[in-house]
Amino acid sequence: MNKYEALYIIKPDLEAEANKAVIDKFAAIVTDNGGVVEKIDEWGKKKLAYPINYIEEGYYVLMNFEAAPSVPAELVRVFGITEDIMRNLVILREE
């Protein structure tokens, strides 16, 4: 299993419960596919470097996890079809 890091930006207009639900959804994708979530770091609302669809801030979340090589592809697929996600990035961490 490899170690990965996923950074994603959630739309800022969601309620706290909805943010929690989105974060839990992506953690569940990792654990349901045999991975282990090491840490979820919620950075909170921050101003974006440039507007995305006229939205100027977003709710940043960093998730560190360990999983099989097929899990990041599944995460990126679900990020792409989730309306509440503005941007995402999944990278392989160096040991």
pTM attached to this predicted model: 0.91
38-89 pLDDT, tens digit each = 999 999 999 999 999 999 999 999 999 999 999 999 999 999 999 999 999 9
With left for phi above 0 and alpha for psi between -120 and 50, is residue 29 left, alpha or beta? alpha
Domain ranges of the chain: 2-92
> In the prediction, which pLDDT does 71 show?
94
> In the prediction, which pLDDT does 95 show?
72
How many CB atoms sit inside 10 A of residue 30's CB?
A: 22
pLDDT over 90 at 94, yes or no: no
Query: What is the homologous superfamily of the domain 2-92 according to CATH?
Result: Ribosomal protein S6/Translation elongation factor EF1B (3.30.70.60)
Which amino acid is it at 82?
A: T
